[in-house]
Structure 1
Amino acid sequence: MKSGRKSTSTVIRRNRLVAYTFLLPNIIGFLLFILIPVIASFIMSFTSWNGFGVIEFVGLENYKNLIHDTNFRISFINSILFTLISVPITLFLSILIAIALNRGIRFVKVFRTAVFLPYVTATIAVAAVWQLIFNPSMGPINGTLMKFGIDNPPGWLSSPSWALLSVSVVYIWHSVGYYMILFLAGLQNIPDHLYEAAELDGAGPIAKFFNVTLPMLSPVIFFTMIIGVINSFKVFDLIYVLTGGGPGRSTHVLVYDIYNTAFKQFEYGYASSMAYVLFLLILIFSFIQFRGQKKWVNY
């Protein structure tokens, strides 16, 4: 009996050792590249340091300076505007495309691949292609507008009035395929008998959409809203390639401002405080969404 218990405990210890061995690389990576940098940047947000000299503790001075920093205020507003533009439109288009592709149309796999392909394409390549599309003199958009009699079409990426909207268009085009896949998975998990019951009650396509499809998709919608808000606040590479934060500061968003402050102005403490304000902003948005989901999400 004892030998049996010993052998069982030996097997358990061996299995645990194997599990920890496989987990160890991921744990080390998490510690080195996520947890330790997060803690270090939080501590650094209370300091003034240019990367070379002596680290000076300044307390809450960095956070106080952010209140009066015009550049930070512009980046803050631009980030919120970018999120309010891109997230609702992305989710709306994703749902429409997912519903269309879920109806069993011909060549559905081809259309799925075509919609999803931009998401898996390198962001730098996407931005480079859209720079050509938005080109004010040789781009196809302005070329088409000129053919329709518009002599002075907008400079999409060079105009302060249009630049943020243009970047939002590229972001939506690049992201919609990812959310479409999530909604498509949600649609395929809706039981057919719910639609059959709705038909027996005399429900048409619109009534079925609002009374069956949307309620059953609400957990997916909630998840995509959370992910969409987080990803939109993190946007950097598109803006870096397309506009460089310009023209003026019309496309300066928080992550781009953090990058400039840290790696061009070498104010690491101040940049860290900006990063934690961004973290707080995302946390507030997520908290509001989690509180509100109790009223409309059906599990």
Structure 2
Amino acid sequence: MNQEQFNRMKNDDGFIAALDQSGGSTPKALKAYGVDEDQYSSEEEMFDLVHEMRSRIITSPSFNKERILGAILFEQTMDREIEGKYTGEYLAEKGIVPFVKVDKGLADEENGAQVMKPMPDLDDLLGRAVERGMFGTKMRSNILEANESGIKAVVDQQFEVGKRIIQSGLVPIIEPEVSIHADDKEEIESILKDEIMNHLNELNEDEHVMLKLTIPTKANFYKELIDHPQVVRVVALSGGYTRRQANDKLKENEGLIASFSRALASDLKADLSDDEFNTSLNDAVEDIFDASVHKTFK
């Protein structure tokens, strides 16, 4: 583990940019960027275009270490280069801590939740992640209902895989997303917090994780998780909220910082000039940074 990056992630102001759309969500990300499916004819061309989009974001002067602590990458982005350097190396030289998404998507819903699909190549991916200079990883599950069995299965799997990631020398971001549309969202969050705390309390002193969670219904509900000694940082996903909605909710939660994807890139378009693109990205970065740092408490 890179101790300087660990200290930065633990203590510095800023947020984490999520640039990790994978194969299934890439067409949607490109379409939002203004690139329709008729503009590419193969998966290879699609990934070339999304790498161009991500490279444009990462190389922008608006994407800087003063406001951005880290960035989560898709596996292909980690393995590709920006200006002759592996993406993680390029980010690290900018002072931005690199992570890589390691999950292979979601299994079918069972007991109101979706665990992660099997990851047979995880050890190989973790080895490459270490070689490419990644600090950590990210993996997502999904919770739709307040079903204790389903929530327990999600958290158990996340921490089981998380321990393998820790053993490889990386810090896992554990992401059991709670649907913002769930009727019993607050009840889900109560069960989820208890399950996460149980696992955190079983970690050794030298085992650390990060958590990526849906912004809770009740402000500061995850404060115990944020303060836990084995937690490096707790970050929030936007979860389908608009940037304004997500930022307003985030501001109510002490110690919680953003890790937004759609809310970060929603105004970025392929046909913008470089000046327009950088200005639009700067506005989004400044908004999200402000929500992550400047809090309003009730």
Tell me the TM-score range normalised by the shorter chain: under 0.3
More strand by share: 2
Which entry has the higher C-alpha Rg, 1 or 2? 1
Q: What TM-score comes out, normalization by structure 2 length?
A: 0.26
More helix by share: 1
